[in-house]
Amino acid sequence: MTNPQPLGGNEMPRFAGSGTFMRLPGISDLAHLDVAVVGVPFDLGTSNRPGARYGPRDIRAESVLLRPYNMATRAAPFDSLRIDDTGDVATNAFNLADSVDRIEMHYDFLLAHDVKPVTMGGDHTIALPILRAIAKKHGPVGMVHIDAHTDINDSMFGEKVAHGTPFRRAVEENLLDGDRVVQIGMRGTGYAADDFDWSREQGFRVVQIEECWHKSLVPLMEEVREKVAGGPVYISFDIDGLDPAFAPGTGTPEVAGLTVPQALEIIRGCHGLDIVGCDLVEVAPIYDTSGATALTAANLLYEMLCVLPGVEYRS
């Protein structure tokens, strides 16, 4: 049986065809898949501008421009792995807690079939139920987390589950191995000058944006790989880690962020790790009429597919 393949631009014009990620068949039985690209349309956890519920739809729309081969790394993810778009989680637009439960159940189901989830968010709240499911299967995981924010608030407006709290809950629930967590891109104003220190107290390496300005992140990624290696790793990429010049379509933008080439260096630098799942969250396309935020997100998700275990990489 041949692996599911994206529909090519010489078979069907790029502006036509199905609405799946990269126009994959979208029909595969989980039993025959290695990787599921899955949408989680959800934004009830946002604290400022909503709209991440439209992330999966617009990422899929912009992904029509992607071709199957990575010209930089020579990765051929669709030849190496059986990858398909398995659709969206049926979130509850009226109930955050019920949505979080539904997301966890959906990922339990995917993981029970040994399918690796690559997620299109959705706001960052969704990382909590995804990590709950992943930790049930793999135990506490290491994490490469790209974001302007550490997302380790104890609560937001009194709520324990929101898009700024998932990694505090994940530590409390023993879903993360703190000594194998790196957070990259943190910046902006805080509520207190020691806001980033809680992460460091858990063993996380926190790379504030000033450490990234004006330079290649290839050397940093050597350190990151050393830190997170030795067990399963999850990649969580909040699009607001990028500078708003490149990714304006998001709910809580912060100035002076990562460049797109730096984002590629980070993801490509994860090659060789035991990646058990990834997400790309916080794309709120309604604030970006150019579509560039969703286009960038689609490319970053593609790059994540290219570094999954089992994909050969020759750069």
Kindly indicate which of the ranges 72-80, 95-103, 210-218, 235-243 contains the residues binding Mn ion, using the contact rule CB under 5 A: 235-243
Contact between 34 and Mn ion per CB under 5 A: no
Kindly indicate which of the ranges 5-13, 81-89, 144-152, 285-293 contains the residues binding Mn ion, using the contact rule CB under 5 A: 144-152
CB of 148 to Mn ion, least distance (A): 5
Contact between 243 and Mn ion per CB under 5 A: no
Contact between 268 and Mn ion per CB under 5 A: no
Contact between 147 and Mn ion per CB under 5 A: yes
- How many of the chain's residues bind Mn ion (CB under 5 A)? 7
DSSP string of 149-213, one letter each residue:
S----S-BTTBSSSTT-HHHHHHHTT-EEEEEEEEEEE-S--SSTTTTHHHHHTT-EEEEGGGTT
CB of 123 to Mn ion, least distance (A): 8
Contact between 224 and Mn ion per CB under 5 A: no
Contact between 240 and Mn ion per CB under 5 A: yes
Binding residue (CB under 5 A) for Mn ion from 149, 168, 187, 271:
149
**Residues whose CB is less than 8 angstroms from the CB of residue 84 and which lie 6 or more positions away in sequence, other chains included:** 4, 20, 24, 25, 26, 27, 28, 33, 35, 36, 37
Contact between 60 and Mn ion per CB under 5 A: no
Binding residue (CB under 5 A) for Mn ion from 53, 60, 124, 138:
124
| Integer Cα distance of 38 and 281 in angstroms | 12
Nearest to Mn ion of 37, 162 (CB atom):
162
Q: Could you report how far apart the first and last alpha carbons of the chain are, in Å?
A: 29
**Residues whose CB is less than 8 angstroms from the CB of residue 77 and which lie 6 or more positions away in sequence, other chains included:** 68, 70, 83, 302, 305, 306, 308, 311
Query: Positive or negative CA dihedral for 24, 27, 29, 32?
Result: negative
Contact between 168 and Mn ion per CB under 5 A: no
Binding site for Mn ion (CB under 5 A): 124, 147-149, 151, 238, 240
